[in-house]
Every structure is written in C-alpha cells, then in structure tokens.
C-alpha cells in the first residue's frame, strides 16, 4: 500500500485529459465539503490545501492536469472582521451586559467593500511583482440565496493572471466568504465557466444539522456540533477525526482493499485500527444506506480505553465518552475498506449509524 502524503502540492494526477473537453459525461463532478463550506467543481478537481480552523479558514482546489486553474475560498466569522482589538471596553462590555441582563448590541453588517478592496489590493500586488498591469471591476451589491440571506458583491480582475469571484456576508451563519476562480490571463472562458458552476453550487452553511465533508471521493456527513480535530490525507488512507467535548468520531478509508484482505479479515483490520479492545464487545451485521453490509462492534469502554480516548481527545473534557460503536465494510466496486468509529457519552445514541449511513460510495 502506498502512503505518500498528498498535501500540499504532491497530488496524484493519474489521468491527464489536456485538450479534452472538461465536461466528459462519464466522469462524476467533484464534490468538495469542508467546515460547512461545500461546492461542486468539474470532474477530477482536487482539494489541494485547507485549514483546520472553522471560524476563519480557507480551502483551495486545483484543476487536473497542467492547467493553472484554481479555486480559492476563504471564510471568516463576521464578528472577527469588525472586532477592534484590545480596548478595555471590548473586554468588559459583555460582562457588564451580562450583569445587567442586557442583550448584546445588534451587530453592524461587515464592510464588504473594505474587505474586497483588500482582496483586490493583494491581487494588484502580485501582478506588480510579476511586472504586469492590473485592472479590476466590481458590480453593485445584491441580495442572494434561497432566503436572500446573502449580501454579495461580484468582482473580477486581470493582471498577471485573472480572477473572477464574489464576496458576501451570510446572515444565517454570519460568515464572510470570498471565493474566486483564478487562472492565467488567456484562460478567460474557462475561468468564467468554472465560476458559473462554482457560484451555482457554493454553500456556506448546512441546511440541516449535518455538515458534508467531501474530499478525494470520500463523502460523509457529520453533525455540525462536532469539530475537526485531526486529518490524514494519504494516497492509500484518508482519516478524519472529529471531537465534541470528549466524544469522538473517526472515519477511515483505505484503498487497495483486495491486497489488505489477503492478509486480514475485515474485523481483524478493524481491530488493528481502533484504539479500543473489541474482544468483549457485542457484534452485529448492519445494512447501510449504500447497500453495503457492515460488521459492527459495540459496548462499554473499559477504564483503560476510556483513559486512552480521554488522552487522545487531549482531555477536552465533557461529556466523557463511555461507549464505543465501530464498524467496518468493504466496497468491492471501489476496492476500498471503510471504518467508522463513534465514541459517545451515555446520552448520545445512534451516532454510528447516522454517520455510517451517509458515507457515499459506488456512485
Ligand atoms: Zn451561511
Ligand atoms: Zn460502495
């Protein structure tokens, strides 16, 4: 099994399709989901860099082959964009308000024009470095979204490369998002068509209580209350670890399943890759939404295992995980093995099935 890191730049580019139209009917579109942000891009695009933070972060996705086309999405909590740092008033006002039971003052909407100016200044700076001229244009502010929750300003620039993008504030999740498609100057048509697809599909918050996490053909949904804690993105192995207090969800996907299964049974593979002992746990077979049959182990965590989980969650405290539910299944069509583990408190029920059912495969 090959396990080279895929990030940041060393992505596999197995199928060079240069010169062929981007919209090949046989290839599925690329779905990207990260920290509540999600979008659909043309086939074979890949997430090439991302940040771990939820409140203030970015993702970048690149086109396949040798083209310079790239999509960059940055987001920030709107209260961060307007925060004045360090005045005593800022420190004490919330406490005083709490003391007198007064509501926080209504937040001013973020100054999108000012934030956009900064984006364009940065683009101008790199154009200048490259010795190119720079011109940009912005369109009037408009309301968008299913419930007109977004105030958006579309923009474009040309200089060195070219970019087409949009900045907006969403009143539902209070995020300020800047998204743009960037290419070389002569990529005009392609930049435009990728931007059209991007902005038709880009969402900055989940419509329900589950976030879509999608990268490298892995698609899974996790409750929005969980935060990404660790990731591992290798060519043969993807792992996402989420925490909510001391509760934990671990999702793994391995490639080259047929080779692995020459040496291990599925349940042995699970046992080798979980932090807890499966021996005394209850076993069951569960049919998932995808149609795959999972072997599932569940039971109370031993004291030793609880300590291990507590430590790997960096003692993030409550609620403590006391139960384990972990399952493994094979997707023969994709030649992949999936495992999902849920380490939960007494109160949380059915989390494993909820998450495992959302894993998409054999599409
Ligand atoms: Zn939103
Ligand atoms: Zn499958």
- Answer yes or no: do 47 and 182 share one domain: yes
Task: Print the domain residue range for 333.
Answer: 228-356
Instruction: Decide if 212 is inside a domain.
Output: no
What is the pLDDT at residue 308? Answer: 75
Residue 17 has pLDDT above 80, yes or no: no
Quick one: pLDDT band at residue 317, thresholds 50, 70, 90? low
**299 touches 281 (CB < 8 A):** yes
Which among 166, 201, 236 is the end of a domain? Answer: 201
**Ligand 1 (single-atom ion) residues, CB below 5 Å:** 170, 172-173, 204-205
Domain count, the chain: 2
Q: How far is the CA of 285 from the centre of ligand 2 (A)?
A: 16
Residue 99 has pLDDT above 70, yes or no: no
- Answer yes or no: do 136 and 263 share one domain: no
Domain of 134, CATH number, reads: 3.40.1000.10
Q: Which residue has the higher pLDDT, 184 or 358?
A: 358
- Answer yes or no: do 59 and 114 share one domain: yes
- Answer yes or no: do 142 and 181 share one domain: yes
3-state SS record for the chain: CCCCECCCCCCCCCCCCCCCCCCCCCCCCEEEEECCEEEEECCCCEEEEECCCCCEEEEEEECCCCCCCEEEEEEEEHHHHCCCCCCHHHHHHHHHHHHCCCCCCCCCCCCHHHHHHHHHHHHHHHHHHCCCCCEEEECCCEEECCCCCEEEEEEEEEECEEEEEEEEEECCCCEEEEEEEEEEHHHHHHHHHHHHHHHHHCECCCCCCEEEEEECCEEEEEECCCEEEEEEEECCEEEEEEEECCEEEEEEEECCHHHHHHHCCHHHHHHHHCCCCCCCCEEEEEECCCCCEEEEEEEECCHHHHHHHHHHCCCCCCCCCCEEEEEEEEECCCCEEEEEEEEECCCCCCHHHHHHCCCECCC
What is the pLDDT at residue 160? Answer: 83
- Answer yes or no: do 270 and 152 share one domain: no
Q: Which residue has the higher pLDDT, 148 or 8?
A: 148
What is the pLDDT at residue 276? Answer: 87
Q: How far is the CA of 203 from the centre of ligand 1 (A)?
A: 7
Predicted model pTM: 0.84
Q: How far is the CA of 221 from the centre of ligand 1 (A)?
A: 17
Q: Which residue has the higher pLDDT, 15 or 187?
A: 187
Instruction: Decide if 218 is inside a domain.
Output: no
For 258-269, what is the mean pLDDT?
Answer: 91
What is the pLDDT at residue 186? Answer: 83
For 122-134, what is the mean pLDDT?
Answer: 89
Residue 16 has pLDDT above 50, yes or no: no
- Answer yes or no: do 243 and 187 share one domain: no
Instruction: Decide if 260 is inside a domain.
Output: yes
Instruction: Decide if 17 is inside a domain.
Output: no
Q: How far is the CA of 242 from the centre of ligand 1 (A)?
A: 21
Mean pLDDT of the chain: 85
Residue 327 has pLDDT above 90, yes or no: yes
Instruction: Decide if 151 is inside a domain.
Output: yes
Residue 84 has pLDDT above 70, yes or no: no
What is the pLDDT at residue 328? Answer: 96
Which among 182, 201, 220 is the end of a domain? Answer: 201
Q: How far is the CA of 143 from the centre of ligand 1 (A)?
A: 13
Q: Which residue has the higher pLDDT, 277 or 241?
A: 241
What is the pLDDT at residue 97? Answer: 62
**321 touches 173 (CB < 8 A):** no
| Rounded Cα gap, residues 106 and 111, in angstroms | 15
Which pLDDT tens digit goes with each residue over 210-240? Answer: 999 999 989 999 999 999 999 999 889 999 9
Residue 167 has pLDDT above 50, yes or no: yes
- Answer yes or no: do 57 and 153 share one domain: yes
Which of 3-12, 23-32, 134-143, 318-327 shows the highest mean pLDDT? 134-143
- Answer yes or no: do 240 and 301 share one domain: yes
Residue 209 has pLDDT above 90, yes or no: yes
| Rounded Cα gap, residues 52 and 227, in angstroms | 9
Quick one: pLDDT band at residue 337, thresholds 50, 70, 90? very high
Residue 82 has pLDDT above 80, yes or no: no
Quick one: pLDDT band at residue 103, thresholds 50, 70, 90? low
- Answer yes or no: do 246 and 313 share one domain: yes
What burial letters (b/e) apply to 184-220, b meaning 16+ CB within 10 Å?
eeebeebbeebbebbbeebbbebeeebbbbbbbbbbb
- Answer yes or no: do 146 and 184 share one domain: yes
Which among 145, 166, 201 is the end of a domain? Answer: 201
Return the number of other C-beta atoms located less than 10 Å from residue 144's C-beta.
15
What is the pLDDT at residue 24? Answer: 47
The ligand with the least distance to the CA atom of 202 is: 1
Instruction: Decide if 93 is inside a domain.
Output: no
Instruction: Decide if 72 is inside a domain.
Output: yes
Residue 251 has pLDDT above 90, yes or no: yes
Instruction: Decide if 5 is inside a domain.
Output: no
Quick one: pLDDT band at residue 68, thresholds 50, 70, 90? confident
Residues of the chain with pLDDT > 90: what percent? 61
- Answer yes or no: do 164 and 242 share one domain: no
Give, in order, the Cα–Cα distances in Å from 36 to each of 39, 123, 194. 10, 26, 21
Q: How far is the CA of 257 from the centre of ligand 2 (A)?
A: 12
Domain of 277, CATH number, reads: 3.40.1000
**Ligand 2 (single-atom ion) residues, CB below 5 Å:** 331, 361-362
- Answer yes or no: do 278 and 345 share one domain: yes
Q: Which residues contact 159 (CB under 8 A, 6 or more apart)?
A: 123, 124, 127, 132, 133, 134, 135, 136
């Amino acid at each position: 099994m090959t396990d080279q890191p895929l990030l940041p730049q060393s992505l596999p580019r197995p199928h060079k399709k240069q010169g062929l139209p981007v919209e090949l009917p046989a290839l599925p579109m690329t779905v990207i989901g990260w920290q509540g942000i999600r979008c659909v891009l043309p086939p074979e695009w890949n997430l090439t860099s991302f940040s771990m933070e939820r409140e203030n972060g970015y993702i970048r996705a690149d086109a396949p082959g040798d083209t310079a086309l790239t999509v960059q999405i940055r987001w920030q909590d709107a209260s961060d964009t307007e925060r004045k740092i360090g005045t005593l008033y800022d420190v004490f006002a919330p406490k005083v308000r709490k003391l007198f039971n007064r509501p926080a003052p209504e937040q001013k909407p973020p100054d999108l024009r000012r934030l956009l100016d900064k984006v364009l200044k940065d683009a101008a700076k790199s154009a200048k470095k490259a010795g190119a001229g720079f011109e940009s244009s912005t369109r009037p502010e408009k309301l968008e979204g299913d419930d007109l929750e977004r105030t958006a300003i579309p923009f474009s620039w040309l200089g060195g490369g070219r970019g087409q993008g949009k900045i907006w504030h969403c009143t539902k999740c209070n995020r300020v998002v800047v998204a743009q498609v960037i290419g070389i100057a002569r990529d005009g048509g392609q930049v435009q068509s990728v931007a059209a697809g991007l902005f038709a599909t880009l969402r900055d918050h989940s419509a329900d209580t589950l976030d879509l996490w999608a990268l490298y053909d892995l698609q899974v949904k996790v409750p929005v209350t969980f935060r990404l804690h660790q990731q591992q993105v290798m060519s043969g192995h993807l792992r996402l670890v989420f925490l909510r207090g001391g509760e934990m969800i671990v999702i793994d996907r391995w490639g080259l399943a047929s080779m692995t299964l020459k040496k291990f049974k599925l349940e042995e593979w699970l046992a080798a890759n979980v932090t807890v002992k499966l021996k005394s746990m209850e076993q069951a077979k569960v049919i998932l939404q995808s149609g795959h049959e999972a072997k599932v182990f569940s039971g109370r965590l031993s004291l030793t295992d609880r300590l291990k989980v507590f430590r790997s969650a960096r003692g993030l405290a409550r609620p403590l995980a006391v139960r384990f539910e972990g399952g493994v299944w094979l997707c023969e069509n994709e030649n992949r093995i999936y495992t999902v583990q849920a380490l939960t408190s007494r109160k949380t029920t059915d989390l494993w099935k909820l998450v495992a059912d959302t894993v998409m495969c054999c599409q």
